[in-house]
């Protein structure tokens, strides 16, 4: 797995030097940090290149590094069923304009996961066809997994809609 | 309820030509099913657009069991998240414990002891059997077959009784610890477990006899809920659903963790990927899990008693006798209870094969005693997402077995 990891990083760096900001393989997890504008290009490269073949978007989430600039970090975990290897792709998103391109054209699995990130972190996804809240209800105010959302905050009680 | 504009109906109404070309003029109707419906186990709401009895489109609304799992984990210690993981999938709580603890161990760089690993596999496989039994048993119940459900639930009781002997709790077992397990198995456990395994095999035979070739059951399952291998991969579907399509992806084989490399078991796969294949895959996985359980018992007995928790001062609790008599251990006990381990700053993703598929935990630590981020990759949610693909164009009745075999567990799906 270790060798696989560094090989993936080496090939991605060679093919897309402008898109990749940083790489590391700490704890054996190969990780690419990419520019958010070029996220989709990197994803397509990882999916379509022979030998990498990341056919599955395993997971997609966000981390709120409150106080850092840019504040949010999108985290994508990719898995290749064909090759049995993994890679993590990360991309920073700013607080002022929390937007990033949607991964649905590459893997439709991203649909609900992106809705969840919108719901809990308030990141908008460009090109998402149906960006509704996933877990919470429409009347919910704020995005609760942001670090500045107090755990004790109460929300208005919403009655039946009809 | 106000109809959501994303449904096909709203778009269709703008193009009346569509209706004109039909032989029989029918109006599409919207049917709300759930969030609590007697024919589905799982709190989820379906907004179904029907043309007669045919499903034209479906919107699946999840989130009714959202309990802020991640937010709660971010405000307690690393240890305090373990009981929350119990509540993710109540059928196989141990597997969620295991996934979380192994992810924390990855960040801490801890390698657990061999005896502990065998115990974890043993407990995890019992939980997997309980999960599959619920899935298959409840599916029968919802297809109006009460008897096989009772066979399934009786066997599940047997596995839960075993887990009670092992961990002291039936459902929310809270058995796995960071760096080990709660305690070794009690001395009477292996014999009792062998007896139960034999009984479960008998019940599975009975189950098989009334269900597997039952005309009604086969007719309701065969050819329903079809999804292609390619669609499964594009939607990130894992577990029995993917294996029923013929993809032998099982993380126990692909990325062997614990002692699965030393264990002899097979990964059953299906051919077409319909509900019947899913049923057959689940039944065979139960037999394989029983095989694994027996191998674990044999191995644990051969090993003889020994330590189960890693001797690492960051996660080990000092022996009680020393806590009562020595200052150092007393302080350490106090620190362990109130604060728990400080996990080195960093990030890690670890995934195990749970009963529903890849159950992953992505953890971020800032070096403190409180997790910065605990992300659970919920197989239930991700497997549920392509459900519209499986039942568009099918009859309303096909929704029931399809939803049953997706085995969406609200606690894990909504977190």
- Tell me, yes or no, whether A100 lies in a domain: yes
pLDDT surpasses 70 at B8: no
Touching check for A86 and chain B: CB below 8 Å?
yes
Mean pLDDT of chain B: 86
pLDDT surpasses 50 at B61: yes
Touching check for A153 and chain B: CB below 8 Å?
no
pLDDT tens for each residue of B117-136: 999 999 999 999 999 988 88
Touching check for A77 and chain B: CB below 8 Å?
yes
- Tell me, yes or no, whether A145 lies in a domain: no
Q: Which helix (H) or strand (E) holds A2?
A: helix A2-15
CATH 1.10.645.10 residue ranges in chain B? 79-96+110-312+385-414
pLDDT value, residue B92: 86
- Tell me, yes or no, whether A134 lies in a domain: no
pLDDT in tens, chain A (162 residues): 446 678 888 887 788 878 888 888 888 888 888 988 888 988 999 888 888 888 899 999 999 998 888 899 999 999 998 888 889 999 999 888 899 999 999 999 999 999 999 999 999 999 888 888 888 888 888 899 998 888 888 887 776 665
pLDDT value, residue B351: 92
Query: Is there a cis peptide before residue B182, judged by omega within 30 degrees of 0?
Result: no
Residues in B 90-109 with any Cβ partner in A closer than 8 A: 106-107, 109
Chain A residues with beta carbon closer than 8 angstroms to that of B3:
none
Report chain B's C-alpha Rg in angstroms. 23
Closest-CA residue of chain B to A148: B71
Question: When comparing pLDDT for B34 and B245, which is higher?
Answer: B245
Q: The domain that contains A60 carries what CATH number? A: 3.30.460.80
Between strands A99-101 and A124-126, the pairing is: parallel
pLDDT tens for each residue of B231-241: 899 999 999 99
Place of tokens 């614990």: B258
pLDDT surpasses 60 at B311: yes
Name which of A132, A135, A150 to mutate to probe chain B: the one with the most chain B Cβ atoms within 10 A of its Cβ.
A135
Touching check for B370 and chain A: CB below 8 Å?
no
Q: Give the DSSP per-residue string, B250-267.
A: -HHHHS--TTGGGS----
DSSP letter for B170, please: S
pLDDT value, residue B9: 45
- Tell me, yes or no, whether A30 lies in a domain: yes
pLDDT tens for each residue of B331-356: 888 888 888 888 888 899 999 999 89
Chain B residues with beta carbon closer than 8 angstroms to that of A31:
347
Inter-chain residue contact A137 with B68, CB threshold 8 Å:
no
Q: How far is B147 from chain A (nearest CA, A)?
A: 36
Chain A residues with beta carbon closer than 8 angstroms to that of B269:
none
pLDDT value, residue A160: 67
pLDDT tens for each residue of B140-162: 888 888 888 888 888 889 998 99
Name which of B347, B363, B413 to mutate to probe chain A: the one with the most chain A Cβ atoms within 10 A of its Cβ.
B347
Q: Which residue range is the domain that position A77 belongs to? A: 2-126
Q: Which of B235, B351, B360 sits opposite A109 (nearest CB)?
A: B235
Inter-chain residue contact A109 with B382, CB threshold 8 Å:
yes
Chain B residues with beta carbon closer than 8 angstroms to that of A23:
none
Touching check for A135 and chain B: CB below 8 Å?
yes
Whole-number Cα distances in Å, A111 to A103, A107, A127, B8, B95: 8, 8, 11, 18, 26
Touching check for A158 and chain B: CB below 8 Å?
no
pLDDT tens for each residue of B349-407: 999 999 898 999 999 998 888 999 999 999 999 999 999 988 888 888 888 889 888 88
pLDDT band at B12 (very low <50, low <70, confident <90, very high): very low
Query: Is there a cis peptide before residue A70, judged by omega within 30 degrees of 0?
Result: yes
Q: Give the DSSP per-residue string, B361-410.
A: EEEEE-SSSS-SEEEEE-HHHHHHTTHHHHHTTSBGGGHHHHHHHHT--H
- Tell me, yes or no, whether A85 lies in a domain: yes
pLDDT value, residue B363: 92
Closest-CA residue of chain A to B377: A59
Chain A residues with beta carbon closer than 8 angstroms to that of B70:
120, 145
Residues facing residue A20 across a β-bridge: A34
Inter-chain residue contact A144 with B106, CB threshold 8 Å:
no
pLDDT value, residue A161: 61
pLDDT surpasses 50 at B3: no
pLDDT value, residue A137: 84
pLDDT value, residue B334: 87
Architecture of domain B79-96+110-312+385-414: Orthogonal Bundle (1.10)
- Tell me, yes or no, whether A153 lies in a domain: no
pLDDT value, residue B63: 86
pLDDT surpasses 60 at B6: no
Dist. CA A74–CA A63, nearest whole Å: 6
Chain A residues with beta carbon closer than 8 angstroms to that of B6:
130, 132
Residues in A 7-66 with any Cβ partner in B closer than 8 A: 26-27, 29, 31, 55-59, 61, 63
Strand, coil or helix: A152? coil
Closest-CA residue of chain B to A77: B349
pTM, full prediction: 0.87
pLDDT value, residue B350: 92
Q: How far is B68 from chain A (nearest CA, A)?
A: 9
pLDDT value, residue B305: 84
Report chain A's C-alpha Rg in angstroms. 17
pLDDT value, residue B20: 55
pLDDT value, residue B17: 54
Kindly report the backbone phi and psi dihedral angles of residue B156, in degrees, each rounded to the nearest multiple of 5, phi listed first.
-65, -40
- Tell me, yes or no, whether A54 lies in a domain: yes
pLDDT surpasses 70 at B194: yes
pLDDT surpasses 60 at B18: no
Inter-chain residue contact A59 with B360, CB threshold 8 Å:
yes
pLDDT value, residue A60: 92
Dist. CA B11–CA A160, nearest whole Å: 26
Q: How far is B66 from chain A (nearest CA, A)?
A: 6
Place of tokens 């197989």: B379
Q: How far is B165 from chain A (nearest CA, A)?
A: 36
């Amino acid at each position: 797995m270790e060798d696989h990891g560094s090989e993936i990083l080496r090939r991605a760096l060679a093919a897309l030097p402008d898109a990749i900001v940083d790489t590391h393989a700490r704890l054996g997890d190969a990780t690419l940090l990419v520019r958010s504008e070029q996220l989709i290009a990197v994803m397509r490269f990882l999916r379509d290149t022979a030998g990498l073949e990341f056919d599955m978007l395993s997971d997609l989430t966000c981390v709120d590094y409150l106080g850092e600039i840019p504040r949010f970090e999108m985290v994508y975990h990719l898995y290749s069923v064909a090759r049995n290897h993994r890679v993590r792709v990360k991309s920073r998103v700013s607080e002022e304009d929390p937007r990033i391109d949607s991964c649905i054209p590459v893997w439709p699995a991203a649909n609900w996961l992106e809705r969840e990130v919108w719901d809990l972190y308030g990141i908008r996804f460009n090109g998402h066809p149906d960006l509704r809240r996933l877990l919470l209800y429409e009347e919910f105010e704020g995005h609760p997994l942001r670090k500045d959302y107090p755990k004790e905050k109460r929300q208005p009680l919403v009655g039946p809609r009809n | 309820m106000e109809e959501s504009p994303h449904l096909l109906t709203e778009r269709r109404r703008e193009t009346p030509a569509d209706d004109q070309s039909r032989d029989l003029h029918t109006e599409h109707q919207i049917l709300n099913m759930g969030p609590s419906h007697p024919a589905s186990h799982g709190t989820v709401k379906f907004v179904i657009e029907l043309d007669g009895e045919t499903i034209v489109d479906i919107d699946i609304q999840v989130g009714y069991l959202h309990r802020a799992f991640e937010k709660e984990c971010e405000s307690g210690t690393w240890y305090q998240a373990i009981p929350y993981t119990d509540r993710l999938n109540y059928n196989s709580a141990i597997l969620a414990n295991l996934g979380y603890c192994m992810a924390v161990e990855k960040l801490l760089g801890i390698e657990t002891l061999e005896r502990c690993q065998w115990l974890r596999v043993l407990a995890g496989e019992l939980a997997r059997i309980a999960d599959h039994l619920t899935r298959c048993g409840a599916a029968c119940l919802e297809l109006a077959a009460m008897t096989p459900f009772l066979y399934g639930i009786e066997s599940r009781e047997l596995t839960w009784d075993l887990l009670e002997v092992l961990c002291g709790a039936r459902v929310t077992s809270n058995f796995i610890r960071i760096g080990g397990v709660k305690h070794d198995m009690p001395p009477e456990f292996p014999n009792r477990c062998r007896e139960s395994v034999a009984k479960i095999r008998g019940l599975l035979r009975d189950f098989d006899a009334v269900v597997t070739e039952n005309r009604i059951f086969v007719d309701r399952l065969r050819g329903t809920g079809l999804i292609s291998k390619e669609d499964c991969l594009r939607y990130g579907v894992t577990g029995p659903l993917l294996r029923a399509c013929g993809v032998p992806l099982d993380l126990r084989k692909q990325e062997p963790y614990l002692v699965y490399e030393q264990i002899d078991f097979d990964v059953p796969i299906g051919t077409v990927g319909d509900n019947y294949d899913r049923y057959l895959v689940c039944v065979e996985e139960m037999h394989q899990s029983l095989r694994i359980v027996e191998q674990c018992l044999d191995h644990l007995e051969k090993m003889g008693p020994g330590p189960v928790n890693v001797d690492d001062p960051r996660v080990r609790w000092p022996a009680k006798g020393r806590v009562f008599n020595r200052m150092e251990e007393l302080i350490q006990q106090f620190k362990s209870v109130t604060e728990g381990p400080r996990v080195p700053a960093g990030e890690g993703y670890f995934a195990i094969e749970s009963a529903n598929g890849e159950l992953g935990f992505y953890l971020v630590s800032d070096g403190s005693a409180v997790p910065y981020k605990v992300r659970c990759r919920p197989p239930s949610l991700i497997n549920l997402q392509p459900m519209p693909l499986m039942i568009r164009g099918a009859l309303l009745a096909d929704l029931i077995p399809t939803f049953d075999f997706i085995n969406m567990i609200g606690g894990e799906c909504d977190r």
